[in-house]
């Protein structure tokens, strides 16, 4: 299992629009990916409702985890999405 820890870049956190972009990318990866807010629960990263339920705000630390042949590339791409300020 590979992991990446990332700080959220979007000014307003992972609200509906950035959460949708992120969960769609996670679903398209073709491997299971989880998202955990530091000190919180773990959810399926491909579930927009799961992602929104974490209440992730700007600057919050989250951990992505995945396992499989494309895990490293997938986590790198998803981490980049989380670092971008989608509210700018």
Residues belonging to the active site: 15
**DSSP H helical ranges for the chain:** 16-28, 48-53, 71-83
CA gyration radius for the chain? 11
CA–CA–CA angle 60, 66, 67 (5° rounding): 160
CA 9 and chain centroid, separation: 11
């Amino acid at each position: 299992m590979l992991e990446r820890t990332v700080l959220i870049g979007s000014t307003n956190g992972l609200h509906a629009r950035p959460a949708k972009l992120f969960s769609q990318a996670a679903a398209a990866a073709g491997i299971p990916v989880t998202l955990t807010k530091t000190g919180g629960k773990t959810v399926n990263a491909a579930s927009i409702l799961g992602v929104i339920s974490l209440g992730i705000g700007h600057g919050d630390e989250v951990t992505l985890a995945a396992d499989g042949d494309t895990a490293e590339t997938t986590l790198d791409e998803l981490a980049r999405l989380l670092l971008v300020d989608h509210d700018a």
